[in-house]
Structures are given as structure tokens and as C-alpha cells.
Amino acid sequence: MSLTPDLLLHAYSIGVFPMAKHREDDEVFWVDPKHRGIFPIDDFHISRSLAKTIRRAAYEISVNRAFSDVVLACADREETWINAEIFARYQDLHAMGHAHSLEVWDQDRLVGGVYGVSLGGGFFGESMFSRQRDTSKIALAYLMDRLRQSGFQLCDTQFLTPHLASLGAIEISRAAYKARLQLALEQDADFEAPQLPSPTLLLQRMTQTS
């Protein structure tokens, strides 16, 4: 079965997502984990050191400025599940307004970012990368704020890792995830609507809701 944008969106709507064994593997398989990682959108943890880094405002943040570059950076590691077909189809979803990236820049250099898929009130995080200390965490902080401001009800992380758990992610059962998914799909959310907050406003919002 060939991978198409519509098939991808249907897969997300029923709680599954695609992966490849490695970048050179042409085959794509579907994953439906028994246990699912999610970020409670109002419970992202900002450490004192991360807050200090954000407050310094040394980085520029953008949304959907360099989607392809973010995906390529996420795949630029020894082992990756992003093969050529997955890369191409997510470009299609981006063109359709269903895949988004948030970028962290050090002047003109892309140093961190995150990307994922939006459908209804659900955001499905795919991958993130960091080329400087804490830049993936900075991207996640701005992403969580954007999801709150946009009306998203679910942020999927696929799997729970120790790193994500340290930032507030939790693990729930497949059944619990799919129940939350159905509720989220009934909502409307616009990823591109909010303006990017200043570092001060971002930290104020995080403090109020954490």
C-alpha cells in the first residue's frame, strides 16, 4: 500500500503512525503502541536553567519558516525512522496545512526545532533536534505555549522517553489515548493563529499554568 497524505491523516485519526526501520529502507510500517506518550498541554516543566536561557532572548523563534530543514535535521542522526517516502509525504502534509514546524535560530543558523502533524484539536509530535544546548527544550516550550493558545486538546509524543518525562510528558494506555484522541478530533484548533510571545510573556504563561 503506497503512502499518501490522506492515508496518513486517516492513520493519525485512528491512533497509528508510520515508521521505517532506517533511512535506506523503502518499506513503511504502522505503529500502534500499547502504551502512549503524551504531553498534558498545561504541564510542561521549565527548569530554572531553561527559564534563564529563554529569558536571555539569545535566540529567534519562528513557525513554519523552514519545515523541510527541520525534518532533515531530525533525520540527521546515526539511526532514523525517516526514509525518503516519509520525508516526501510530510512535505505534502505541510503544503496542505497539516504539518508544522517550530524553529530556533542563532542569528541565521538553525540550531533547534520540532515538527508534527495537526488534525482537529490534536497535535502529533514527530521529532525534534538540538544543535546547541537546550534548543530542543526551547522549541518544546514555545510549542506547548502555541498549542495552549491555539485550542489544542492533545499533544502526542508517540513514546515516553526519560528526556520527555523530565519535561512533563506521561504515559497512558492505548485505550486511554484513543479516548482522548476522539475528543480532540471533535475540536477545532489553528496552529498558525497565535502570535509568538516574547520570552517574558512565555515564562509568565508557563508559571501561571504549571
Boundaries of domain holding 66: 34-77+102-209
Flag whether 149 is in a domain: yes
Confidence category of residue 1, pLDDT binned at 50, 70, 90 = low
Number of domains, the chain: 1
Rounded distance between C-alpha atoms, residue 149 and residue 104, angstroms: 19
- Strongest mean pLDDT among 1-5, 32-36, 164-168: 32-36
Tell how strand 17-19 and strand 29-31 pair up.
antiparallel
Is the predicted pLDDT of residue 170 greater than 80, yes or no? yes
Answer whether 0.75 is exceeded by the pTM: yes
Rounded distance between C-alpha atoms, residue 79 and residue 81, angstroms: 7
pLDDT (average), residues 206-210 = 68
Flag whether 187 is in a domain: yes
Flag whether 116 is in a domain: yes
Flag whether 28 is in a domain: no
Give me the phi and psi of 181, to 5 degrees please: -60, -45
Q: Which among 78, 79, 77, 94 has a CA at the least distance from the CA of 136?
A: 77
Buried b (16+ CB within 10 A) or exposed e, 14-51: ebebbbbeebeeeebeeeebeebbbbebeebebeeebb
More confident residue, 150 or 79: 150
CATH code for the domain in which residue 148 is found: 3.40.630.70
Is the predicted pLDDT of residue 210 greater than 80, yes or no? no
Rounded distance between C-alpha atoms, residue 117 and residue 11, angstroms: 11
